[in-house]
Amino acid sequence: MPSSGMDLKRQAEELLGNKLDRVRLVHDTTQFMELERGDVLGLDGRRYLITGVAYEGRFGLDEEPKHWVKRALDFSDGSQKLIKLVFFEEFDLPIGLLKVRCYRSPAKESRILELVRGRPQFMQGITHLDPSGNQVRVLDRVPGQSLDKRLDALRLDHRAWFDGLLRPMLERFLGSLEAIAFLHGQGERHGDIRRDHIFVHNEDQRWVWIDFDYNFDFKQSPFGLDLFGLGNVLCYVVGRGIPTLRQIKQERPQTLDLLDTGDLSPVIPNRVFNLKKLYPYLPEELNRVLMHFAASAPIYYERVEEMIEDLRPAIAKLPQPVREEAP
């Protein structure tokens, strides 16, 4: 039985628990800029109430609205969704001194969502085709915060981090690595591996990958960009922040003399990867994994499995935390 306009408005307000000025039922998402709070998306017989737009979570760009990503509520159960609408863009992504041609691909994200269904290390979602054939991705919102927000909020010095938390953190990271290895095994790539694309789930603290829509023209090394991202996340976790030369100059100038260019990332040459020079208590095995991402590395990892193989025994060398629960 088709509900009248008034019915829809009442249902939407009930779902939201708040009044709405205006409620519209929309099927076509091509003009995604025009969709706003109060619009109800009707797709494949399901309905989603748009409650707002998502904002750029990236460091320093907090205020930018992303008009192609809407926040929404599912009419069927009131659950929170993020709805990604089709927005093609193509641009040169600066990575250190290099630029990489980058394409946003809804098709890639939809395919990966199918592939990772039921895998707790990945965000979950489904794809609806709207009447214009747009691939609308409806994502379950992972309840939690991004890894960087989570870790940056901790007030701990590095030694306390190392003694109390690093081991369980890296055990979780190992799960994230295995998840990416699975993706690569299926011939797919994440495409945008960064510490803010891992969400820490509120319920069981597991790490969940989000955001699969970046694609690149790949060259000889099909997984090079993903591995680069994984190296950065590892360094971030082990160092509780990736130390830059500038920070070291300010905070511990005496260690600056110990460093040379071989200790830095070849791609972003102000990031220090030889963390043992800063934190001498790090096990050699762990530092060796990090050094695969440093400029002095004779060879780089080409596959995630190689990284996992080295990281697993390195984690075993870390102190067991006294307290069980970790953030």
Partner 1 sequence: MILWNRILVGLDESEPSLNALRYLAGVLGGSNTSKVRLLAVYLPPDPDSHPDPGQRADLAAERRLALEARLAQAYHMLVEARLARENLSTDLVEAGGRTVGQVIMDYQAEGGYGTVVVGRRRLSKAEEFLFGSVSSTVVHTATDCCVWVVA
**Do 152 and 223 contact (CB within 8 A), yes or no?**
no
Rule CB under 8 A: is residue 216 a binding residue for partner 1?
yes
Q: How far is Cα 275 from Cα 255, in angstroms, rounded to an integer?
A: 11
Closest distance between ligand ATP and the C-beta of residue 56, in Å? 6
Closest distance between Mg ion and the C-beta of residue 214, in Å? 5
Q: How far is Cα 147 from Cα 273, in angstroms, rounded to an integer?
A: 19
* DSSP code per residue over 232-280: HHHHHHHHTS--BHHHHHHH-GGGGGG--GGGB-SSSTTBB--GGGT-T
**Do 318 and 237 contact (CB within 8 A), yes or no?**
no
Q: Please, which of residues 85-144 interact with ligand ATP by CB under 6 A?
A: 123, 139, 141-142
Rule CB under 8 A: is residue 233 a binding residue for partner 1?
no
Closest distance between partner 1 and the C-beta of residue 101, in Å? 8
Rule CB under 6 A: is residue 210 a binding residue for ligand ATP?
yes
Q: How far is Cα 193 from Cα 180, in angstroms, rounded to an integer?
A: 10
Using CB distances below 5 to 8 A depending on partner kind, what does residue 199 bind out of partner 1, ligand ATP, Mg ion, none? ligand ATP
Using CB distances below 5 to 8 A depending on partner kind, what does residue 57 bind out of ligand ATP, partner 1, Mg ion, none? ligand ATP
Q: Which member of 20, 26, 53, 54 binds ligand ATP (CB under 6 A)?
A: 54
Nearer to partner 1, 53 or 295 (CB): 295
Q: Which two tokens stand for residue 281?
A: 């208590």
Q: Please, which of residues 194-213 interact with Mg ion by CB under 5 A?
A: 211, 213
Provide the residue count of the chain: 327
Q: Which two tokens stand for residue 98?
A: 């290099």
Which part of the chain contacts ligand ATP (CB under 6 A), choosing from 14-22, 205-213, 273-281, 311-319?
A: 205-213
Rule CB under 8 A: is residue 107 a binding residue for partner 1?
yes
Residues in CB range of 142: below 8 A, 6 or more apart? 123, 199, 201, 208, 210
Q: Which member of 69, 180, 181, 282 binds ligand ATP (CB under 6 A)?
A: 69
* DSSP code per residue over 49-65: EEEEEEE--STT-TT-E
Nearer to ligand ATP, 200 or 278 (CB): 200
Edge-first strand order for the sheet with 207-209 is 144-146, 198-201, 207-209
**Do 167 and 318 contact (CB within 8 A), yes or no?**
yes
Residues in CB range of 93: below 8 A, 6 or more apart? 99, 100, 101, 102
Rule CB under 6 A: is residue 288 a binding residue for ligand ATP?
no
Rule CB under 6 A: is residue 193 a binding residue for ligand ATP?
no
- What is the SS3 assignment for 98? strand
Q: Which member of 48, 162, 173, 199 binds ligand ATP (CB under 6 A)?
A: 199
Rule CB under 8 A: is residue 300 a binding residue for partner 1?
yes
Rule CB under 6 A: is residue 73 a binding residue for ligand ATP?
no
Q: How far apart are the first and last CA of the chain?
A: 48
Give the binding site for Mg ion (CB under 5 A).
211, 213
Give the binding site for partner 1 (CB under 8 A).
88, 90, 95-98, 100, 103, 105, 107-108, 187, 215-222, 224-225, 228, 266-267, 295, 300, 302
Give the binding site for ligand ATP (CB under 6 A).
54, 57, 66, 69, 82, 123, 139, 141-142, 192, 199, 210-211, 213
